[in-house]
Structure 1
Amino acid sequence: MTGDATPVLDRDTAEPHPDWGPFGAPLFDGPQARALSRVGVIDIGSNSVRLVVFDGAARSPAYFFNEKILCGLGAGFAETGRLNPDGRARALIALKRFAALALGMDVSPLLTVATAAVRDAEDGGEFRAQVEAETGLHMIVVDGEEEARLSAQGVLLGWPGAQGLICDIGGSSMELAKLEGEGRVGRCETSDLGPLKLMGIKGGKKAVRAHIKDRIGQLASDFGDRPERLFLVGGSWRAIARIDMERRGYPLKVLHEYRMTPRAIMETIKYIEQTDTDTLRAQTGTSEARMRLVPLASEVLRVLVRSFKPREVAISSYGIREGLLYEQMNDELRRRDPLIEAARHAEAQNARLPGFGRALYKFVEPLFASARPERKRLVRAACLLHDVSWRAHPDYRAEVCFDNATRANLGGMTHAERVFLGLALLHRYKSSRSGTNFNTELLNLLPETDVIQAEILGRAMRFGAMFALDRPTDHGRLKLFPKKKLLRLHLLTASGCDLFGEVAEARFQALAGAIGVEGVVIRDV
């Protein structure tokens, strides 16, 4: 998250809110963001052809439609120099379907992009002309450096301000790009290290490994500095990450923002080498076509990690398609926090009282006055999301809240932050976790202190949301004195005293108990 937007006026008081930054006016309902609704991208890669249609909050878009066909356009390219005939036929059928679907969904704009297979093949231009003639799709063929830049922008969609090195592996190529912070993309390079290309190297495993080592050695020399973090983009990397999750028994099956250490990667590569591919497929649900590429992708990853020596490796589900969406955003929209924008959009679409989330945050914020900015950001998101699942059955509402937060397709959150947010929303609707059917192993992703803080936040929202339905700070103020082990509620108006009924008092005392302090009510009227 980088930068703050221009302060905006509160709709009720007409007072500026310079301290709210990205939490102020939502851009998802502005004209520039509305212009990005129902944006479609057709990505014609060496292994797959995919249509994605984005919708929702532009800065953190939902996947309105997402379909992939593993066509294998680049299969056999090393021997023939041409697109695979069967893959070409299958891709054309898929593109005809995608063009018809986009028309039916009123997608505008619809961007069609082709990468390594089409740009390198002898008959790439012929295929491009055929596609346009038979489908009406105008195909843009991007070069390797541009592909790297767009993939880097896709990473920035999920990690604003990210720094490190992105590595996007496709069927026929592998791209690297440097993220320099503050949304800047630096050096971009491409290579022939896609698994489909590597399959065509003669001389067996020894020759393939020598080729990989030579190419990555040159790339490491070109990029120089050791990256703090390596961001992996592409289906083959995600397949390896799924195997790593299974090997480790990792409890949260969300690939985006999944972190691995270099040591864990080496252990997983060894596990892949020693395990039958059918077993790996059964464990992870990976397709046969994708699993066929995993062993060679593993060889590339082994050398990549040893050569660049990143301190941490992270999986990004966002790549060139999301990078094309990011390309269309202005700087103000790019600076927005994707989590907050998505939460604002969810509140506007689904909450009983849209706009109340900000008032609730103002009410509970004194409990987190000394918290770090990244924690306050999660508190803000939780307050916005506190009521978006109200339509769920009351017996399952707490579980639905937890599942929505931990499994949602959102950027801008680590796995630990997902669990923190989910736990806070669970306690918004249920005071105790006992009898709640959720994977308790997920709590192992949080230190015990964060589990306690999430419960405190949930209980604070549980109290604040029922204390007053409109601007609770007009009627009462919370003050926490940690050293005195005291939580005070100052009731400021006669209405506030009326609102503080029996249930409200019980929830206030439950909040004080969760903090481990005495709860005292002061009537300042």
Structure 2
Amino acid sequence: MTQAPKADSAALSTDTANADGTADSGAETGTAAPPRPTPIRGYFERPLFDAEAIRGLQRVGVIDVGSNSVRMVVFDGAARSPAYFYNEKLLCGLGRGLAETGLLNPEGRVRALNAINRFSILAEEMDLTSLTMVATAAVREATDGEAFKTEVEMATGIEMRIIDGEEEARLSAQGVLLGWPGARGLVCDIGGSSMELGEVADNTVGRRATSPLGPFRLQQIKGGKKGLKNHIRETLTELRDKVGGDHKALYLVGGSWRALARLDMERRGYPLTVLHEYEMTPKSIRKTIDWLQDQDLSKLRNRTGTSAERMSLVPLATVVLRQLLHVFRPKRVYVSSYGIREGILFEQMPDDLRACDPLIEASRHLEEASARTPGFGRKLFDFLMPLYRNAPPDRMRLIRAACLLHDVNWRAHPDYRSESCFDTATRANLGGMDHKSRVYLGLALMNRYKNPGSNSRLTPLLSLLDPEDIRHANMLGRAMRFGAMLSVKGPNAAAEMRYYPKKEVLELILDPDRQALFGEVAQQRFSALAKSLGVSTKLRVARTAKLEVAKAELANGEAAKAETSS
């Protein structure tokens, strides 16, 4: 059986953190998005996942033995934005009744062992290059936890690492950093038997703390609602002394928080049900908690696709969250689908990969795997660059991502290709984007093929953007639509584009040997782009000498690329 290398064992006690894996992001109108990272290296250098050290991590597996669920996730390599090759969980409830008996739940123990046995066989069949199994609160606190560890290791041959609360907090917070390199605030990971807090800033994990505030533990607190509320508040006050109380952003990790966020979406009628980077305000959360008191949870469970086991823990989770907001007073609250499992993946990444922008790396990976001509995205971006020289960094990274993704849906049926593009941006596992950015990127890619009109099924999602963002996304789509079809070798092989906003002129300088590429369809698309900019067009043929320089540069670039790949 493949096991994690010993080097990883040491790495599990250094400083960084994360945990989990599903959905995507969102933001409530009028709130500020979390800061975005400034990449340390160029966006279009050779992809880091081509490096030999990273190619060795082709399949990275994690088995997470939690108090409520047991899950195996297999990541498709150590890509900066995680790709989920395999993801399976079973809600075993190992920690149910632990506070009363001190023992793992007997039924949960049998179910967990069966699940882990299944996972170990699957891992062997997948020929994983790295497999790490960690156990958290229930196993570390139960008097029969060590016996369960021995039983699992005897049955599977895989080492089970029982990690302490602070290590769990570190890994969970590290998982948040995988998706949010610019995250700054407090990560809160709630499990069945415990709740961990970790401070994140400057791409590192700081102070950490653990507590018995998991729903299974809270079910045993005496004194009714008042006693429960006082117990939670006292515990959180002690935690605040350990991790600090001056955190403007709160990042929520764990199934109970995700279920609550999905209910917040239901109450608001929110149009994009992607949980990762979904943003809530404290005011909205309190409204949802109050709203839930008058709702039939079984009906909500069916409407939101929440399991009965998970929904049963939501009422206690709401009590914890209300007090969490009261004690720490964050201004913004985000949901992270990344947690301890992603934190373990982050642990195995080289520093240069950690420093990359997850959105750009994921987009490059998709282009390499799915586009007709990998590498064309860079040429398209270079061609369109005159339009965006003054774009702010957040907008520029979306433009880069759009150019990389502009052709990854070419295999879709032509009638649905534009909608397929929109779904790729809004629903695919792309990290480093809030919901507003997802919709902007989706709209731009949609317009790369056609204008969707006002009656698209996706129109409700446009409510997340303001009119100016919509205009910019439409313009970017038209720019890509023109540039992508001008020449198979890249638009700069046929022409150079110049933009004079003060003169309100969009100029195209054609290669004298390739004038025929600027045919009727190209002319129509160039005019449509100018119209979206609100400018007139100017066309001229370049002097041969000037264009020969451009063609020489293009040829040199192709030669360098061929030499690198060889």
* Candidates 451, 455, 463, aligned match of 2:474: 455
Higher relative contact order (CA 8 A, sep 6+): 2
Q: Paired residue for 2:118? A: 97
Q: Paired residue for 1:399? A: 419
CA apart distance, 1:136? 1.6
Paired residues, what number?
508
Q: Paired residue for 1:14? A: none
* Candidates 153, 166, 170, aligned match of 1:149: 170
Mapped to 1, the partners of 2:178 and 2:488 lie a distance apart of: 35
Q: Paired residue for 2:513? A: 495
| Correspondences of 1:186-335 after superposition (within 5 Å) | 186-335=206-355
Mapped to 1, the partners of 2:212 and 2:256 lie a distance apart of: 15
Q: Paired residue for 1:54? A: 75
Mapped to 1, the partners of 2:355 and 2:68 lie a distance apart of: 33
TM-score by length of structure 2 reads: 0.88
Q: Write the deviation string for residues 296-336 of structure 1: whole angstroms up to 9, x where unpaired.
A: 11100000011111110000000000000001111101001
Q: Does 1:471 align with 2:509?
A: no
Residues 36 and 58 in structure 1, CA contact (< 8 A), matched pair in contact too: no
Residues 362 and 431 in structure 2, CA contact (< 8 A), matched pair in contact too: no
Residues 93 and 108 in structure 2, CA contact (< 8 A), matched pair in contact too: yes
Q: Quick one: which amino acid aligns to residue 59 of structure 2?
A: R
Q: Paired residue for 1:372? A: 392
Q: Write the deviation string for residues 227-257 of structure 1: whole angstroms up to 9, x where unpaired.
A: 1210000000000000000000000010000
- For residues 257 and 200 of structure 1, do their structure 2 counterparts lie closer, same or farther at Cα, with a shift above 3 Å needed? same
Residues 57 and 77 in structure 2, CA contact (< 8 A), matched pair in contact too: no
Q: Quick one: which amino acid aligns to residue 530 of structure 2?
A: A
Q: Paired residue for 2:106? A: 85
Mapped to 2, the partners of 1:205 and 1:32 lie a distance apart of: 54
Mapped to 1, the partners of 2:460 and 2:37 lie a distance apart of: 33
Q: Paired residue for 1:69? A: 90
What's the C-alpha RMSD, in Å, of the aligned pairs? 1.3
Mapped to 1, the partners of 2:348 and 2:164 lie a distance apart of: 19
Q: Paired residue for 1:507? A: 525
Q: Paired residue for 2:160? A: 139
Q: Paired residue for 2:8? A: none
Mapped to 1, the partners of 2:300 and 2:39 lie a distance apart of: 45
Q: Write the deviation string for residues 354-407 of structure 1: whole angstroms up to 9, x where unpaired.
A: 111000000011111110011111111000000011001111111100111100
Q: Quick one: which amino acid aligns to residue 134 of structure 1?
A: A
Q: Does 1:38 align with 2:59?
A: yes
CA apart distance, 1:4? 4.3
Q: Paired residue for 1:520? A: 538
The more displaced of 433-442 and 368-377 is: 433-442
Q: Paired residue for 2:14? A: none
Residues 512 and 542 in structure 2, CA contact (< 8 A), matched pair in contact too: no
* Candidates 134, 137, 140, aligned match of 1:113: 134
Gap regions ≥5 residues in structure 1:
7-20
CA apart distance, 1:433? 1.5
Q: Quick one: which amino acid aligns to residue 342 of structure 1?
A: A
Q: Paired residue for 2:199? A: 178
Residues 399 and 436 in structure 1, CA contact (< 8 A), matched pair in contact too: no
Residues 178 and 185 in structure 1, CA contact (< 8 A), matched pair in contact too: yes
1:242 alignment partner, SS class: helix
Gap regions ≥5 residues in structure 2:
1-35, 544-566
Mapped to 1, the partners of 2:39 and 2:249 lie a distance apart of: 25
Residues 207 and 242 in structure 2, CA contact (< 8 A), matched pair in contact too: no
Residues 348 and 354 in structure 1, CA contact (< 8 A), matched pair in contact too: yes
Q: Write the deviation string for residues 248-304 of structure 1: whole angstroms up to 9, x where unpaired.
A: 000001000000000001011111222122122122111111111100111000000
Q: Does 1:22 align with 2:40?
A: no
Q: Write the deviation string for residues 92-122 of structure 1: whole angstroms up to 9, x where unpaired.
A: 1111111111111112211100000000000
Q: Paired residue for 2:549? A: none
Mapped to 2, the partners of 1:435 and 1:219 lie a distance apart of: 50
Mapped to 1, the partners of 2:315 and 2:526 lie a distance apart of: 57
Q: Quick one: which amino acid aligns to residue 419 of structure 1?
A: V
1:490 alignment partner, SS class: strand
1:93 alignment partner, SS class: helix
Q: Write the deviation string for residues 127-156 of structure 1: whole angstroms up to 9, x where unpaired.
A: 000001112221000100000000011000
Mapped to 2, the partners of 1:218 and 1:23 lie a distance apart of: 47
Q: Paired residue for 2:465? A: 446
Q: Paired residue for 1:433? A: 452
* Candidates 341, 348, 372, aligned match of 1:352: 372
In percent, how many aligned pairs have the same letter?
59
Residues 57 and 342 in structure 1, CA contact (< 8 A), matched pair in contact too: no
Mapped to 1, the partners of 2:342 and 2:78 lie a distance apart of: 13
Q: Does 1:388 align with 2:408?
A: yes
CA apart distance, 1:501? 1.1
CA apart distance, 1:221? 2.7
CA apart distance, 1:470? 1.4
Q: Quick one: which amino acid aligns to residue 74 of structure 1?
A: G
2:48 alignment partner, SS class: coil
Q: Quick one: which amino acid aligns to residue 388 of structure 1?
A: V
Residues 339 and 412 in structure 1, CA contact (< 8 A), matched pair in contact too: yes
1:505 alignment partner, SS class: helix
- For residues 22 and 523 of structure 1, do their structure 2 counterparts lie closer, same or farther at Cα, with a shift above 3 Å needed? closer
Mapped to 2, the partners of 1:456 and 1:78 lie a distance apart of: 59
Q: Quick one: which amino acid aligns to residue 512 of structure 1?
A: A
CA apart distance, 1:46? 0.2
Mapped to 2, the partners of 1:265 and 1:226 lie a distance apart of: 20
1:251 alignment partner, SS class: coil
Q: Quick one: which amino acid aligns to residue 496 of structure 1?
A: R
